[in-house]
C-alpha cells in the first residue's frame, strides 16, 4: 500500500513571517481577500495586524468575523453567503481551529456547491475541486489546522461534531508567526498546547503510522515537552520568549504528521465532549489523553517507550516495556497538571453515556485507534473523567 503525504505548497515560519503575506497574494494574482476570523481577534486588535498590512499595500478585503467557537453548520452557510456576496477571490483564515475550520468549509463549498448542506462533507467527501485559494495564519499553538486536511463542524441539531477529511481543503499557504500568538491567555495556551501533544502522540500510535510522520511526531513531542511549560509561564507574565516560538513550530510539525495518518479515540471522545458540553477541544483532549494511552498501551509495542524518551524521561532503556509505557502516561499526566489542565469534565453525567459512547464510536478518528474499542471500553473511559 502506498503512503501519502499532503502538506502546504509553501509555509513561512518565525518572527516576521507575516510580512510575506502580500507577496503571496501578488504572486498568485489575488485582488480581493475574504478575511475569515472571530470577533475576539477583531476586538483585541489581532486581526488589525493583518488588515493594516493589507491597507498599506492597498489590497482590497472584507472581514467576516462571525466565526463561533465550535463552528456550526449554520455558521459555515452564513460564511459561504458572505464570501459570495463579497466578490473576493481568496481567503485569509485567521485564528485558531474554529476560524480555520470555518474557512476550510467555506472554501470547499464555494468551489463544490453540491455540498452546501455541509453535513454531506462528513468523513472523506468526494469533492472534485480544490477549495478557494487560502492563506492560513494561526493565532494559537495547537490545532495545526493550517497544515492539515481535516476540519470539524458542529451539528447543533444532532448534538454532535463531525470530522471532514479532504485533500482539497488544505490551505495553499501557511504563515506561522509566533507574534500572532502573543495574545493567547494562559488557559488557551495550555489547552492548545496539550491538543498539539495529543495530535503527536495519537498520530505516532495510530494504526496508519509510518516512518515519515513518525519523525514529525517524535520531534513535536520533544518540542512540546521542552516548551509548553515556558509558553504558559510567558502567557502569565506577558513577556514573550522561546516557549511561545517553540510551541508555534511544535504544533505545526505535529500537524504535518497526524494529518497524514489520522488520530484515535482521545480525539473522538473530545469531539463528543465538545459537542455536548462545550468543553474546549484542547482541554477535552488533554483530559482524555492519559486514560486513552493507558487503555491502548498493550497495542502500541515499543512506541510509548519512544514517547517517554521524547518527553525527557530518563532511564527508559533500562525499563521493562510495562514500566516504559507507564512512564509515558505519567509524563503526559504531569505535563497536564503543570499547565493547569483539569482532570474531570464538567457536566458529564450518567444519563448521557449511551449517546456519548455511540457518537465516539461513529467519529471519523475512531478507526485509527491502535486498539479496537468496544462500547463498554469507551463507557469505562468516560466514567474515569466524570466529576
pTM score above 0.75: yes
Reported as a single tens digit per residue, the pLDDT across 285-298 is 999 999 999 999 99
As a whole number of Å, the end-to-end CA separation of the chain is: 44
Give DSSP secondary structure letters for 156-211.
TTTTEEEEEE-GGGS-SEEEE-GGGGTT--HHHHHHHHHHHHHHHHHHHHSTT--H
**186-383 falls under which CATH superfamily?**
Dehydroquinate synthase-like - alpha domain (1.20.1090.10)
Q: pLDDT tens for the chain, 387 residues: list them.
A: 799 999 999 999 999 999 999 999 999 999 999 999 999 999 999 999 999 999 999 999 999 999 998 899 999 999 999 999 999 999 999 999 999 999 999 999 999 999 999 999 999 999 999 999 999 999 999 999 999 999 999 999 988 999 999 999 999 999 999 999 988 999 999 999 999 999 999 999 999 999 999 999 999 999 999 999 999 999 999 888 899 999 999 999 999 999 999 999 999 999 999 999 999 999 999 999 999 999 999 999 999 999 999 999 999 999 999 999 999 999 999 999 999 999 999 999 999 999 999 999 999 999 999 999 999 999 999 999 999
CATH of domain 10-180: 3.40.50.1970
Q: Which among 332, 163, 365 is positioned nearest to 263, based on CA atoms?
A: 365
Phi/psi for 302 (5° steps) reads: -90, 5
Question: Any idea where the domains of the chain sit in the sequence?
Answer: 10-180, 186-383
Amino acid at each position: 500500500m502506498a503512503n501519502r503525504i499532503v502538506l502546504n505548497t509553501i509555509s513561512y515560519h518565525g518572527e516576521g513571517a507575516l510580512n510575506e503575506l502580500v507577496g503571496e497574494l501578488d504572486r498568485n494574482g489575488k485582488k480581493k481577500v475574504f478575511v475569515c476570523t472571530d470577533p475576539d481577534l477583531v476586538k483585541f486588535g489581532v486581526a488589525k495586524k493583518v488588515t493594516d498590512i493589507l491597507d498599506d499595500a492597498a489590497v482590497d478585503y472584507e472581514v467576516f468575523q462571525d466565526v463561533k467557537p465550535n463552528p456550526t453548520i449554520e455558521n459555515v452557510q452564513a460564511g459561504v453567503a458572505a464570501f459570495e456576496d463579497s466578490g473576493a477571490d481568496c481567503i485569509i483564515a485567521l485564528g485558531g481551529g474554529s476560524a480555520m475550520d470555518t474557512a476550510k468549509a467555506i472554501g470547499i463549498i464555494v468551489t463544490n456547491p453540491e455540498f452546501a448542506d455541509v453535513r454531506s462533507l462528513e468523513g472523506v467527501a468526494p469533492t472534485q475541486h480544490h477549495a478557494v485559494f487560502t492563506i492560513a495564519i494561526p493565532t494559537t499553538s495547537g490545532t495545526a489546522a493550517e497544515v492539515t486536511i481535516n476540519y470539524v463542524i458542529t451539528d447543533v441539531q444532532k448534538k454532535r461534531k463531525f470530522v471532514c477529511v479532504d485533500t482539497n481543503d488544505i490551505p495553499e499557504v501557511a504563515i506561522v508567526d509566533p507574534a500572532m500568538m502573543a495574545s493567547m491567555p494562559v488557559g488557551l495556551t495550555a489547552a492548545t498546547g496539550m491538543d498539539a501533544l495529543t495530535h503527536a502522540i495519537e498520530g505516532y500510535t495510530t494504526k496508519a503510522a509510518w516512518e515519515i510522520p513518525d519523525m514529525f511526531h517524535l520531534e513535536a513531542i520533544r518540542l512540546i515537552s521542552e516548551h509548553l511549560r515556558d509558553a504558559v509561564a510567558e502567557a502569565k507574565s506577558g513577556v514573550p520568549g522561546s516557549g511561545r516560538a517553540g510551541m508555534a513550530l511544535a504544533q505545526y510539525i505535529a500537524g504535518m504528521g497526524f494529518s497524514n495518518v489520522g488520530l484515535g479515540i482521545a480525539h473522538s471522545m473530545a469531539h463528543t465532549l465538545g459537542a455536548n458540553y462545550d468543553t474546549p477541544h484542547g482541554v477535552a483532549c488533554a483530559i482524555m489523553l492519559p486514560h486513552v494511552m493507558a487503555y491502548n498501551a498493550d497495542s502500541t509495542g515499543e512506541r510509548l517507550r519512544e514517547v517517554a524518551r521524547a518527553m525527557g524521561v530518563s532511564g527508559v532503556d533500562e525499563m521493562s516495556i510495562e514500566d516504559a509505557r507507564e512512564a509515558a502516561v505519567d509524563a503526559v499526566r504531569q505535563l497536564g497538571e503543570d499547565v493547569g489542565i483539569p482532570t474531570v469534565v464538567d457536566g458529564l453525567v450518567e444519563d448521557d453515556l449511551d449517546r456519548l459512547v455511540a457518537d465516539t464510536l461513529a467519529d471519523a478518528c475512531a478507526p485509527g485507534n491502535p486498539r479496537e474499542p468496544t462500547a463498554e471500553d469507551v463507557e469505562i473511559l468516560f466514567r474515569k473523567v466524570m466529576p
